[in-house]
Amino acid sequence: MKIGILNADAVRPEFAVEFGEYPDMFAAILKGVEPSLELLTYEVVNDEYPADLDEVDAYIITGSKLSVYDDVPWIKKLRDFVVQLHGANKTLIGICFGHQMVAEALGGKTSPADSGWCVGVHAIEPTSAAAGYGLPDSELHLRSNHKDQVTQVPSGGKVLARAEACPIASMGLGEHILTFQAHPEFSEGYARALLNMRRDILGEELYRSAMDSLATETDDMRVARCIVDFVTRRATQATGRD
């Protein structure tokens, strides 16, 4: 099974040496669940896209330091590509910026959070709709690092999980789209590096609270399993229709 990673950013060079690029981070957790997965990377910031939508079985949109509403050519093109994927009923996973991009492209809304930066480990609580997308019915702890968040889901979209600091922490649309605001792909070390980098921006109180929260055990692999199962189920359904 093939998954295409629509990479929307580059890791700072000094961090990439230790933690890899975002596709490397996704490979670590997804192949940790299913080693036979084949992952292809498309550098969308450099205008790299598949020649054919069916080149892979599913797509993942990564995080990014930019905002989905920024007036940047590659962001506009990615937004159009999301519309194309949705129109083709293609399986799509969105993470952080990817979560927000799916909402923005398909008629929802993304805005700066009133509460500012959401960083560190946060608990998300699945809704009654979560089971339909393969999410567990118990609380999940995940690492977050964002100042924007989805404030309105697209028409037909379902809120799958909520957090105190992020009311739309996970979203589903149709049978083919699953998104998360948090970062299951972030290691504790990378999350710590980002917090240290933004210490002055965050302020000492938020920085300290977020750093302390990193001691909390996270559910990265449970979410990775949900993603792999979601993609596998969709691929099996598509094969059955052929």
- Report the distance separating Cα 28 and Cα 26, nearest Å: 5
Distance between CA atoms of 40 and 52, rounded to whole angstroms? 13
Longest Cα separation, the chain: 56
**Active site residues per annotation:** 96, 183, 185
- Domain limits for position 64: 2-241
Q: Which structure tokens are listed for 242?
A: 């052929």
Q: Is the pTM of this model over 0.85?
A: yes
Question: What is the number of structural domains in the chain?
Answer: 1
Q: Are 147 and 116 contacting, i.e. CB atoms less than 8 angstroms apart?
A: yes
DSSP helix/strand/coil, 25: helix
Q: Which of 78, 83, 59 is nearest to 67 (CA)?
A: 78
Question: What tens-digit pLDDT sequence spans the chain (242 residues)?
Answer: 999 999 999 999 999 999 999 999 999 999 999 999 999 999 999 999 999 999 999 999 999 999 999 999 999 999 999 999 999 999 999 999 999 999 999 999 999 998 899 999 999 999 999 999 999 999 999 999 999 999 999 999 999 999 999 999 999 999 999 999 999 999 999 999 999 999 999 999 999 999 999 999 999 999 999 999 999 998 888 765 54
Domain of 16: which CATH number? Answer: 3.40.50.880
Encoded tokens for 6? 């629509």
Backbone angles phi, psi at 176, to 5 degrees: -125, -5
Burial of 208 (0-12, 13-18, 19+ CB in 10 A): middle
